[in-house]
Chains A and B, each alone.
Chain A
């Protein structure tokens, strides 16, 4: 499957660290569908900035602890 975004994330790790939070629970807390959380975790979909902040807030960490973007090589 093609990865349409360079944005990577640590949501899976953060979920497990948060008492093995399920994808469905995270989806409920940020107002998304579980399928969208799956797509975000796989890096197939980049959420809006607002949803990204909501996800980071659920885990109580800054945005860059959840989402990463590779450095540009000149």
Chain B
């Protein structure tokens, strides 16, 4: 598995975790107040902060584990350990572009929904959650497309 593919798995896992944490925090308030009055601000900020922190931490851990694995493998085979464990080639770039294009399309469509909510004067709760869903789904879609392309071989 290439380094870029590993990072994509990290991104997908982080998004799934962050979405689950956020939904859990919001779901815990259901029934205690009208939906539009649910305190979403703190959970949404924590979710975004967690996403950024875990993505950075996950990337660092992935780099360390990949480098360690490469060093052990080199020791066993008697070869020189590779220096460019994070090598990105034209195939990685192409897969990355496809994922980013998918993310752009998902974002564009979902932002129309956010715009509609604003135009009808929906409560901030729905607007903020629609924006969060846009970010989360576009991130997940990008990761999913990249992983499928990596597995298919492209």
A31 at the B interface (CB under 8 A): yes
Q: How far is the CB of A21 from chain B (nearest CB, A)?
A: 13
Residue ranges of B at the interface with A (Cβ–Cβ < 8 Å): 1-3, 5, 82, 87-92, 150, 152-154
Count A-B pairs with CB separation below 8 Å: 47
A5-58 with Cβ < 8 A to chain B: 28, 31-36, 38-39, 42, 44-45, 47-48, 51
Number of A interface residues, CB 8 Å? 18
Residue ranges of A at the interface with B (Cβ–Cβ < 8 Å): 1-2, 4, 28, 31-36, 38-39, 42, 44-45, 47-48, 51
- By the criterion CB–CB under 8 Å, are B90 and A1 in contact? no
Chain B residue with the shortest CB-CB distance to A3: B153
| Residue contacts A-B, CB under 8 angstroms, 8 given | A4-B153, A28-B82, A33-B89, A36-B90, A39-B153, A45-B91, A45-B154, A48-B90
Cα distance A73–B101 when bound, in Å? 35
Q: Which of A28, A32, A36 has the most CB of B within 10 A?
A: A36
- By the criterion CB–CB under 8 Å, are B152 and A35 in contact? no
Partner of A1, one of B3, B82, B87, B153: B153
- By the criterion CB–CB under 8 Å, are A31 and B89 in contact? yes
- By the criterion CB–CB under 8 Å, are A44 and B5 in contact? no
Q: How far is the CB of B82 from chain A (nearest CB, A)?
A: 8
Given contacts A1-B152, A2-B152, A33-B3, 12 further A-B contacts (CB under 8 A): A4-B152, A31-B87, A32-B87, A32-B89, A32-B91, A33-B2, A34-B2, A36-B2, A39-B154, A42-B153, A45-B91, A51-B89
Q: Which residues of A contact B90 (CB under 8 A)?
A: 32, 36, 47-48, 51
Cα distance A41–B146 when bound, in Å? 20
Q: Which residues of A contact B87 (CB under 8 A)?
A: 31-33
Q: How far is the CB of A22 from chain B (nearest CB, A)?
A: 10
- By the criterion CB–CB under 8 Å, are A33 and B91 in contact? yes
